[in-house]
Amino acid sequence: MKDNDEDAGRGLLSEQIDQYGALSRSRSRSRRRSGEEDDDAALALFRDEQELHELIDPEKEGKLVRKIDLMILPYLAICYCFFYIDKTTLSYAALFGIGEDLDLHGNQYNWLSAVFYIGFLMWAFPTNFLLQRLPVGKYLGINIFMWGFFLMWQAACKNFESLAALRILGGAAEACADPAFMLITSMWYTRRQQPIRIGLWYSANGLGIAGGGLLGYSIGHIKGALPSWKYEFLIIGALCSIWGVVMFVLLPDSPVTAKFLSGEERKLAVERLRADQTGIENKTLKPYQVLEAFKDYKTYFFFALATVANIPNGGISNFGTLIIKGFEFSTLVTTLLQIPYGVVISVSILSCVYINDRLPPNSRCKMVALFMIPNIIGSFGLFFVPLDYHVSRLMCYYMTGPYNAAFVLILSLQIGNVAGHTKKVVSNAVTFLGYCFGNLIGPFFYKSSQSPTYPLGIATMIICNIAEVVIILMLGILLARENKKRDELQKGVERDLDSTAFSDMTDRENINFRYVY
């Protein structure tokens, strides 16, 4: 009986492997009939399949990666720095008297914080599909320019309604930013390299907080014809627009078309991603991949993670300066005290990705949970430490910064665990819908009547931090089980990575795909 069960099990595994092979062959025939529009754009670089089997020279690859780093990361990092400076302009404008000048009352400041993400939410799916159809670098540059343009126009606002309308437009312009950064990172770097590179450009988030503090302090000293909050919008908006032009001109759209790479370097840039089985780019929108994305449990896990990670962010980014001012510091000192918070964020991100890179593979979910511990401690401190313990409360506030490091690894998990370009686009959009939703509702937990301690907002932060730990550990368990299942299916079978590497198959279609966790 036991031998019969084993034979039946082997037969079932063999049948499943044959089904995967039949699917791959069917897709190959379909590509030939459709002019290879199903294939990844990377295949255009290779004259024949034999070129896909060429060995990679580690020395050449190392030199190429350094070249890519210099041509990609500075643009993304500086841009991300501007992103956070832009997001905090409203909080600095609040310090400089925008509420009094525009006669803001009730929950209108909360709504100004939130409507930015309404624009983001409305444009999230259209902008992600445009990212698939249009050159990524050019489209990103245009949106960054418009983002700065709308920010400058906010200096001309005379009431709540006009400011809210411009913040909605600014949110729509920003909607492409993070998804574009994720696509760019997945195009240029292996899954092993992605956490460090995401960490490098995301750590500019902390520099944006510190830089925003310095800019806010400097702008606060301008004695001109306009109120200080108007200079905040004009100066930062102009810098964003200028950088948008730089990105449009200099940021390459993909490794396949990058002008700063030679023909051999372009081939190497895509060939080294073959083992990841995630492909580079495909301009054809595939409805079945859209449907698969919404049937995949990972899509909803990443939405939930993005939501619970950014409900606290929505509050802190808009009310952080007001929380610090509640420690009885002056307005200008409050702007300077944001600088250490930015440093904490940058250091925590860089240390997190550095440690993760030196741990055994598949340690990311555990690292997310580990780096959430300071946030949980800090948020409990803000809730329970008495208000007159100013320094202790300030230290607790700084401890809420490492959640950014955890979110970096969550982003690396999202782009590393989804294959098929259309599916990646949809998954990115859903993830950043969660990001948007969290930032949208976060400010409403910080009620003006509870200033300066905001107990409801801090309690929400505690709940979200704990929920994030639980969700990420559950996801890690599920991905580990899926890998084990696929290893069993292919036990004793040689994996043909070349046949599926650039076929634009989804992670569910491609049995050679392995999840990272």
Q: Is residue 144 part of a domain?
A: yes
**Are 245 and 309 members of one domain?**
no
Q: Which range is least confidently modeled, 175-189, 323-337, 394-408, 421-435?
A: 323-337
Q: Is residue 465 part of a domain?
A: yes
9 vs 288, which has greater pLDDT?
288
Phi and psi of 369, rounded to 5°? -60, -40
SS (H, E, C) 97-158: CHHHHCCCCCCHHHHHHHHHHHHHHHHHHHHHHHHHHCCHHHHHHHHHHHHHHHHHHHHHCC
Distant-in-sequence, close-in-space partners of 454: CB < 8 Å, separation ≥ 6? 315, 319, 323, 445, 446, 447
The pTM of the full predicted model, rounded to 2 decimals, is 0.79
**Are 241 and 325 members of one domain?**
no
Which range among 56-65, 132-141, 474-483, 506-515 has the greatest average pLDDT? 474-483
Q: Is residue 334 part of a domain?
A: yes
CATH of the domain at 167: 1.20.1250.20
**Are 364 and 474 members of one domain?**
yes
Q: Is residue 89 part of a domain?
A: yes
CB 484 within 8 A of CB 154: no
**Are 306 and 432 members of one domain?**
yes
**Are 383 and 243 members of one domain?**
no
DSSP class of residue 50 equals G
Phi and psi of 387, rounded to 5°? -60, -30
Q: What's the pLDDT band for 5 if we cut at 50, 70, 90?
A: very low
Q: What's the pLDDT band for 367 if we cut at 50, 70, 90?
A: very high
130 vs 492, which has greater pLDDT?
130
- Return d(Cα 472, Cα 271) in angstroms, integer: 31
Distant-in-sequence, close-in-space partners of 481: CB < 8 Å, separation ≥ 6? none
Q: Which range is least confidently modeled, 51-65, 392-406, 431-445?
A: 51-65
**Region 487-512 average pLDDT:** 81
SS3 call for 389: coil
- Return d(Cα 69, Cα 61) in angstroms, integer: 12
- Return d(Cα 269, Cα 69) in angstroms, integer: 12
pLDDT of 97 above 90? no
CB 461 within 8 A of CB 312: yes
Which range among 25-29, 241-245, 309-313 has the greatest average pLDDT? 241-245
Q: How far is CA 305 from the centre of its chain?
A: 12
Q: Which range is least confidently modeled, 239-253, 337-351, 497-511?
A: 497-511
> What pLDDT score does 337 carry?
80
**Are 199 and 269 members of one domain?**
yes
Residue 505: which region, alpha, beta or left (left: phi > 0; alpha: psi -120 to 50)? beta
* Of 414, 38, 19, 23, nearest in space to 194 by CA: 414
Domain-ending residue, one of 207, 241, 276: 276
Q: Is residue 391 part of a domain?
A: yes
pLDDT of 192 above 50? yes
**Are 185 and 65 members of one domain?**
yes
- Return d(Cα 397, Cα 320) in angstroms, integer: 8
Q: What's the pLDDT band for 24 if we cut at 50, 70, 90?
A: very low
- Residue 317: which domain range? 296-488+504-516
> What pLDDT score does 29 carry?
43
Q: How many CB atoms lie within 10 A of CB 96?
A: 20
pLDDT of 331 above 70? no
**Region 336-356 average pLDDT:** 89
pLDDT of 9 above 70? no
447 vs 56, which has greater pLDDT?
447
* Of 428, 418, 410, nearest in space to 132 by CA: 428
Q: How many CB atoms lie within 10 A of CB 21?
A: 14
pLDDT of 356 above 60? yes
**Are 363 and 308 members of one domain?**
yes
> What pLDDT score does 32 carry?
40
Q: Which range is least confidently modeled, 229-238, 244-253, 441-450?
A: 441-450
> What pLDDT score does 54 carry?
63
Count up the domains in the chain and report the number.
2
**Are 242 and 107 members of one domain?**
yes
Domain-ending residue, one of 224, 247, 276: 276
Q: Is residue 499 part of a domain?
A: no
Q: Is residue 44 part of a domain?
A: no
Domain-ending residue, one of 248, 276, 304: 276
Q: Is residue 2 part of a domain?
A: no
> CA quadruple 86, 88, 90, 95: dihedral positive or negative?
negative
25-78 tens-digit pLDDT? 444 444 444 444 566 666 666 655 555 556 678 888 999 999 999 989 999 999
What is the residue-averaged pLDDT of the chain? 84
143-168 tens-digit pLDDT? 999 999 999 999 999 999 999 999 99
> What pLDDT score does 272 carry?
85
- Return d(Cα 334, Cα 186) in angstroms, integer: 38
**Are 470 and 354 members of one domain?**
yes
**Are 300 and 444 members of one domain?**
yes
Q: Which range is least confidently modeled, 298-302, 342-346, 424-428, 482-486?
A: 342-346
**Region 277-285 average pLDDT:** 73
**Are 104 and 202 members of one domain?**
yes
Q: Peptide bond preceding 452: is omega within 30 degrees of 0, i.e. cis? A: yes
